[in-house]
Structures are given as structure tokens and as C-alpha cells.
């Protein structure tokens, strides 16, 4: 299993009239976690696209437990629990500064060849970076 953590500070524009982070913004926080997880593995999303592979989102789910507020520093924990094949699943947990779990969710992305628009296997270079975490 591979785990990564990154931090996001809630901006005022991301809150609603109740002062809560608007629910739709969590998908962006998850994207920050996902991109930073790839970077921590030593492969940026940009490098993957430059090599001819894109990762469109196939599914997204989330469970909300508690709200986040303006100026909160959120810890985004991103987990890859299984080696990918043509799809990769990311699991997310977002905590506030008091280590309270605010929400958790999942996204499944598909490895797709940019030239053909067809699904493909995860790049070998990417799998080599992940393999040590699954031994």
C-alpha cells in the first residue's frame, strides 16, 4: 500500500453562506492529493501525459462527516491500496488541524492512450515506482 499526505488551506472563496467549505470543492482537494501522491512517487501527472498517457476520472464518491471552514489547514491523505492494471483507485481522507476526519472518498481513474483514446495498461515505469510498496 502506498500512502501520501499533503496540505491545503481553505480559501474564503471555497466556502458557502454557512461558512462551510462548499461540498463541490472537495473534488479539487482530492485532485491535489492525487497529483502530489504521484509526485511523491517520482512521477508527475505531466510526465505521464507527455509520455502519451492520460488519466480521466471514471468514478468519484465521497462521504461527509464534519465541515471544514475558511482558513482551516486540511491534511489530505491519499492511498493507493492495490497495484493498478488499466484502472487505478485512489482513496482519500481529509483531516482538520485537530486530526478530526472530515470526509473520505474514492476516485477511480483509467489509463488511456492519448493518441487512440483507448484504455491501456498502467505504464511499466509507473508500476516500477509502486512495486516496492506492495511487497
Which residues are catalytic, by number? 16
Cell of 84: 493498478
Between CA 34 and CA 107 the distance in angstroms is 9
Place of cell 471514471: 58
Q: Which residues of 28-63 are buried (b: 16+ CB within 10 A; e: fewer)?
A: ebbbebbebbbeebebebeebeeeebebeeeeeeee
Amino acid at each position: 500500500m502506498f500512502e501520501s499526505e499533503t496540505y491545503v488551506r481553505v480559501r474564503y472563496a471555497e466556502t458557502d453562506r454557512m461558512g462551510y467549505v462548499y461540498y463541490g470543492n472537495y473534488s479539487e482537494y482530492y485532485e491535489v492529493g492525487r497529483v502530489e501522491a504521484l509526485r511523491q512517487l517520482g512521477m508527475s501527472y505531466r510526465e505521464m501525459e507527455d509520455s502519451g498517457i492520460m488519466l480521466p476520472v471514471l468514478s468519484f464518491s465521497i462521504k461527509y462527516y464534519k465541515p471544514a471552514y475558511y482558513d482551516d489547514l486540511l491534511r489530505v491523505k491519499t492511498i493507493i491500496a492495490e497495484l493498478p492494471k488499466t484502472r487505478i483507485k485512489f482513496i482519500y481522507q481529509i483531516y482538520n488541524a485537530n486530526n478530526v476526519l472530515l470526509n473520505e472518498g474514492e476516485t477511480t481513474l483509467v489509463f488511456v492512450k492519448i493518441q487512440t483514446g483507448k484504455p491501456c495498461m498502467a505504464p511499466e515505469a509507473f508500476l516500477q515506482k509502486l512495486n516496492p510498496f506492495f511487497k
